[in-house]
């Protein structure tokens, strides 16, 4: 039996959601209103609904991604059970689990049918989603309450895992268990699954077990693909090099971009290769813009065969491949820039200019003034912001 | 209280506005008659578009100008829907005082998409009874015709040397600065007629020293402008692609530069490179192609990398 099933909270007292949110949900359900639970994967949305239904002694009628939720099915399956009374006069909750599964083509009209149902249903309808602000379901949002479910704190995950270990007689290294909890980034289901996978063999979680979990397999896959692209010129092999792996094109693109200049040492080769990578990127832009996915074929071609054929002669040197650090850098820069943006918002307010213009034209001068030790009280900057400017 | 000089010295009355004499004359007359059509102010940054809009509001509504004047920025507000919502709320109530309409100032209109402009145009029509719009933009050609045709268009020009010097003179007197003739010439050259820029430079100079020297001005101006882009290019010319592109990413992130900001600078710098003119021609062509690809929606950083690879190849 899977741990996730075995240790699923069955009672409200076992659920890790704040009291006030539970009360909010309870109130809406008792008033037979519909509600959207918005929260990341594995934050316990579905379990919450079941546990609450258990407490209220309600039945749960669940429709999930494995059922097709097109207009017909909504009307023929969900609708009747939302209108009719239940057996033995028990209350009922209709749970539409993970509404994202409602794909554009297969579940056509499903959202609209569901929206109509929200108005008519005799029973409360609960919809779970990881993206309540998606345009596709805006019509549902307008007709329902919204409760935000937070991801699990890693400490809570740690405590849950610890209990499971004790219960299953698993020997664990505390640091490893902490690391495992942290890596789950708030997804309790993933954490429990990882724990089960790692300990299934010998009921032990040691320090080195986590390495197995790491994307070791993935790395090998991408290295093989990169080898084909950078070292060979056989177009038919190269074309499928990425498709054969589990790596998505975006990630592969970053790997290629990062390692290209380390592999192609002649500037003519490098120039040609970047020309082709640039073309692949142009097709990517067109996919995003026109939502025309067949362009993927061309993107893939230019970033695989295009790169392979850009070299005049094969390179035989071997050097390892580097992971692309761009995303991490972007993340940190964004964190750093938050302060700058908040300063520029204040400038913008006082100075009748847009934030963008404040960033470009005014901020550099304000910074110089603060660096010289002067302050401009009018801007109303707080201590932290002033310190940031003087740094 | 220490203030931002651009606000401290922002004109409050029509007669204080420097430059744009003809425009001010006509708008002042309209304001006196309390008869204002929708207005469109086109022109570069820092030449008085927002100032004139604010002066109109203050003249029309007196002390109650803040209640009757709504200032929105197209490039910051998230999308036309939000703008429309705010406009709707604002125009629901009648104007206070004896002026029959309120004013909405919508800055940087040229950053709106064509679709958003269509929506704006309908909004403008729906509220003609009790609202007048003042739109501002850098390039009127970026606005759709129906909007242009609903507005009286005023084209603001960069201030001339005389105008910029007047501004400098005023601030010099009020703040007790020492600025000689040669330095105010230099300030004008740097400013391209952008008064906001001149005043910002003056304030940051003055925060260091009230006696303003040419060295001080130039050191501040270059400190406020990232010069790393030039170094990125030089690294590429020397054949060091990896360092060049790393420096590029760091520079873009550090200064919050967009790909287009960078390529504008690169394009200018290419002309100064120490390579054959024929190669400059090839690089400029590549520059144009990369800029085109960016505008079309490609990844800015990757496109710049491909440009750097070209510089490595042709820079030799």
Same domain, B212 and B237: no
Same domain, B107 and B239: no
> Would residue B1 count as lying in a domain?
no
Tokens coding B256: 């919050």
Give the pairing type, strands A171-172 and A58-63. unpaired
For residue B131, give the nearest of B60, B49, B199, B78 by alpha carbon.
Answer: B60
By Cβ distance, the residue of B4, B242, B297 closest to A351 is: B4
- Residue A129, H or E segment: strand A125-129
Calpha distance B232→A113 (Å, rounded)? 56
CATH number for B263: 1.20.272.10
Query: What pLDDT does A299 receive?
Result: 94
The answer to whether residues A73 and A109 touch, using CB atoms and an 8 Å cutoff, is no
> Would residue B2 count as lying in a domain?
no
Taking the model in full, what pTM does it have? 0.56
Subunit contact B253:A281, Cβ cutoff 8 A: no
pLDDT digit string, tens, across residues A80-120: 777 776 666 778 888 888 787 654 445 557 778 888 888 88
Q: Which of A265, A277, A278 to mutate to test the interface with B (most CBs of B within 10 A)?
A: A278
Same domain, B270 and B135: no
Q: Is the pLDDT of residue B215 over 50?
A: yes
Confidence of residue A121 (pLDDT cuts 50, 70, 90): confident
pLDDT digit string, tens, across residues A2-20: 888 888 888 888 888 888 8
pLDDT digit string, tens, across residues B229-284: 889 999 999 999 999 999 999 888 877 778 888 898 899 889 888 889 999 999 99
Calpha distance B93→A371 (Å, rounded)? 46
By Cβ distance, the residue of A281, A355, A373 closest to B76 is: A355
Higher pLDDT, A79 or B284: B284
Phi, psi (deg, nearest 5) at residue B104 = -120, 120
Query: In a 3-state reduction of DSSP, which class is residue B85?
Result: helix
Chain A / chain B CB contacts < 8 angstroms:
147
Share of chain A above pLDDT 70, in %: 90
Query: What pLDDT does A311 receive?
Result: 93
Which structural domain, as residue segments, surrounds residue B232?
228-314
Q: Is the pLDDT of residue B226 over 70?
A: no
Tokens coding A5: 């099933």
Domain boundary among B155, B170, B200: B155
Could you please state the CATH topology (level 3) that the domain comprising A3-148 is classified under.
Answer: Rossmann fold (3.40.50)
Same domain, B267 and B189: no
**Cβ-count burial of A384 within 10 angstroms (0-12 exposed, 13-18 middle, 19+ buried)?**
exposed
Same domain, B18 and B67: yes
Query: Please, which residues have CB within 8 angstroms of residue A323's CB and are 6 or more apart in sequence?
Result: A255, A258
- Residue A162, H or E segment: helix A154-168
Query: What pLDDT does A142 receive?
Result: 84
Residue B211: DSSP 8-state: B
Q: Which of B197, B298, B304 to mutate to test the interface with A (most CBs of A within 10 A)?
A: B298
Which residues of chain B neighbour A375 with C-beta distances below 8 Å?
2
A150/chain B closest Cα distance in angstroms = 26
The answer to whether residues B195 and B164 touch, using CB atoms and an 8 Å cutoff, is yes
Subunit contact A273:B75, Cβ cutoff 8 A: no
By Cβ distance, the residue of A286, A365, A372 closest to B201 is: A365
Q: Is the pLDDT of residue A195 over 80?
A: yes
The answer to whether residues B139 and B43 touch, using CB atoms and an 8 Å cutoff, is no
Helices (H) then strands (E): counts for chain A = 21, 7
pLDDT digit string, tens, across residues B41-93: 999 999 999 999 999 999 999 888 888 999 988 877 666 777 788 888 888 78
> Would residue B189 count as lying in a domain?
yes
Mean pLDDT of B109-125: 83
Domain boundary among B139, B155, B171: B155
Higher pLDDT, B105 or A66: B105
Q: 């409602």: which residue's tokens? A: A102
Lowest-pLDDT range of B19-33, B91-105, B302-316: B91-105
Confidence of residue A25 (pLDDT cuts 50, 70, 90): very high
Q: 């003056």: which residue's tokens? A: B202
Q: 């204080």: which residue's tokens? A: B16
Residue A316: DSSP 8-state: -
Interface contact A282, partner B, CB < 8 A: yes
pLDDT digit string, tens, across residues A233-256: 888 889 988 888 878 888 889 889
Query: What pLDDT does A120 receive?
Result: 83
All structural domains of chain A with their residue ranges: 3-148, 154-213, 216-308, 328-390
Query: What pLDDT does B69 receive?
Result: 93
ipTM: 0.77
Same domain, B129 and B245: no
Beta bridge partners of A58: A91
Number of domains in chain B: 3
Q: Is the pLDDT of residue A216 over 60?
A: no
Domain boundary among B223, B248, B277: B223
CB atoms within 10 A of CB A315: 14
Query: Please, which residues have CB within 8 angstroms of residue B219's CB and are 6 or more apart in sequence?
Result: none
Calpha distance B244→B188 (Å, rounded)? 34
CATH number for B167: 1.10.8.60
Could you please state the CATH topology (level 3) that the domain comprising A154-213 is classified under.
Answer: Helicase, Ruva Protein; domain 3 (1.10.8)
A332/chain B closest Cα distance in angstroms = 9
> Would residue B180 count as lying in a domain?
yes
Tokens coding A366: 């304000």
Calpha distance B11→B16 (Å, rounded)? 5
Subunit contact B302:A277, Cβ cutoff 8 A: yes
The answer to whether residues A130 and A39 touch, using CB atoms and an 8 Å cutoff, is yes
pLDDT digit string, tens, across residues A337-360: 788 888 999 999 888 888 888 888
> Would residue B173 count as lying in a domain?
yes
By Cβ distance, the residue of A270, A288, A379 closest to B4 is: A379
Q: Average per-residue pLDDT in chain A?
A: 84
In terms of phi and psi (left: phi > 0; alpha: psi -120 to 50; beta: otherwise), the region of B122 is: alpha
Which value, to the nearest 10 degrees, does the dihedral of the CA atoms of residues B15, B19, B24, B26 take? Answer: 130
Same domain, B253 and B137: no
CA atoms within 13 A on the CB side of B70: 22
A345: nearest CA in chain B?
A: B76
Query: What pLDDT does A85 receive?
Result: 67
Residue A266: DSSP 8-state: S
Mean pLDDT of A68-85: 69
Share of chain A above pLDDT 90, in %: 21
Q: Average per-residue pLDDT in chain B?
A: 89
């Amino acid at each position: 039996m899977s741990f996730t099933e075995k240790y699923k909270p069955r009672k409200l007292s076992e659920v890790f959601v704040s009291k006030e949110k539970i009360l909010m949900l309870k109130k809406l359900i008792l008033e037979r209103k519909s509600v959207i639970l918005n929260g990341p994967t594995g934050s316990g949305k579905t379990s919450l609904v079941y546990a609450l239904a258990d407490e209220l002694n309600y039945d749960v009628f669940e429709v999930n991604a494995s059922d097709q939720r097109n207009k017909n099915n909504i009307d023929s399956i969900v609708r009747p059970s939302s209108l009719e009374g239940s057996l033995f006069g028990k209350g009922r909750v209709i749970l539409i689990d993970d509404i994202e599964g409602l794909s554009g083509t297969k579940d056509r009209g499903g959202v609209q049918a569901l929206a109509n149902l929200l108005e008519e249903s005799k029973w409360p309808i609960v919809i779970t989603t990881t993206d309540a602000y998606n345009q596709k379901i805006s019509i549902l949002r307008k007709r329902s309450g919204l409760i935000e479910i937070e991801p699990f704190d890693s400490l809570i995950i740690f405590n849950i895992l610890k209990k499971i270990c004790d219960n299953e007689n698993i020997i664990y290294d505390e640091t490893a268990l902490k690391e495992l909890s942290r890596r789950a980034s708030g997804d309790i289901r993933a954490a429990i699954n990882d724990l089960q996978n790692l300990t299934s063999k010998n009921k032990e979680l040691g320090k080195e077990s986590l390495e197995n979990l790491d994307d070791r397999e993935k790395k090998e896959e991408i290295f093989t693909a990169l080898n084909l692209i950078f070292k060979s010129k056989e177009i038919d092999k190269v074309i499928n090099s990425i498709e054969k792996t589990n790596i998505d094109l975006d990630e592969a693109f970053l790997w290629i971009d990062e390692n290209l200049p380390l592999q192609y040492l002649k500037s003519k080769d490098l120039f040609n290769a970047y020309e082709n990578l640039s073309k692949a990127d142009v097709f990517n832009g067109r996919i995003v813009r026109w939502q025309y996915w067949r362009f993927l074929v061309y993107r893939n071609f230019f970033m695989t065969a295009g790169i392979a054929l850009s070299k005049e002669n094969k390179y035989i040197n071997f050097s390892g491949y580097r992971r692309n650090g761009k995303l991490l850098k972007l993340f940190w820069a964004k964190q750093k820039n938050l302060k700058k943006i908040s300063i520029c918002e204040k400038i913008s307010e006082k100075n009748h200019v847009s934030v963008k213009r404040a960033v470009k034209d005014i901020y550099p001068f304000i910074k110089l003034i603060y660096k010289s030790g002067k302050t401009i009280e009018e801007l109303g900057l707080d201590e932290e912001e002033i310190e940031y400017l003087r740094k | 209280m220490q203030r931002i000089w651009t606000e401290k010295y922002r004109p409050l009355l029509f007669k204080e506005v420097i430059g744009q004499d003809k425009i001010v004359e006509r708008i002042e007359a309209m304001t006196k008659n309390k008869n204002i059509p929708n207005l469109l102010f086109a022109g570069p940054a820092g030449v008085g578009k927002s100032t004139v809009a604010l002066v109109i509001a203050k003249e029309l509504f007196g002390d109650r100008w803040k209640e009757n004047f709504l200032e929105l920025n197209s490039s910051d507000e998230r999308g036309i829907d939000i703008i429309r919502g705010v406009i709707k709320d604002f125009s629901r109530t009648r104007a206070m005082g004896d002026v029959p309409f309120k004013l909405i100032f919508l800055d940087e209109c040229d950053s709106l998409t064509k679709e958003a402009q269509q929506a704006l145009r309908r909004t403008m029509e729906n509220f003609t009874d009790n609202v007048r719009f003042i739109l501002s933009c850098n390039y009127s050609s970026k606005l759709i015709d129906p909007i242009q045709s609903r507005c009286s268009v005023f084209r603001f020009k960069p201030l001339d040397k005389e105008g910029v010097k007047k501004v400098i003179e005023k601030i010099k007197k009020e703040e007790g600065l020492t600025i000689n003739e040669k330095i105010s010439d230099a300030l004008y050259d740097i400013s391209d007629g952008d008064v906001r820029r001149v005043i910002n430079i003056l304030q940051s100079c003055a925060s260091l020293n009230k006696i303003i020297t040419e060295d001080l001005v130039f050191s501040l101006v270059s400190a406020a402008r990232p010069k790393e882009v030039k170094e990125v290019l030089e690294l590429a010319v020397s054949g060091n692609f990896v360092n060049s592109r790393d420096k590029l990413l760091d520079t873009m992130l550090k200064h919050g530069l967009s790909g287009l900001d960078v390529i504008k600078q690169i394009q200018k710098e290419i002309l100064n490179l120490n390579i054959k003119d024929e190669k400059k021609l090839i690089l400029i062509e590549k520059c144009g192609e990369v800029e085109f690809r960016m505008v079309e929606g490609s990844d800015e950083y990757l496109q710049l990398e491909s440009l750097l690879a070209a510089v490595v190849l042709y820079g030799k």
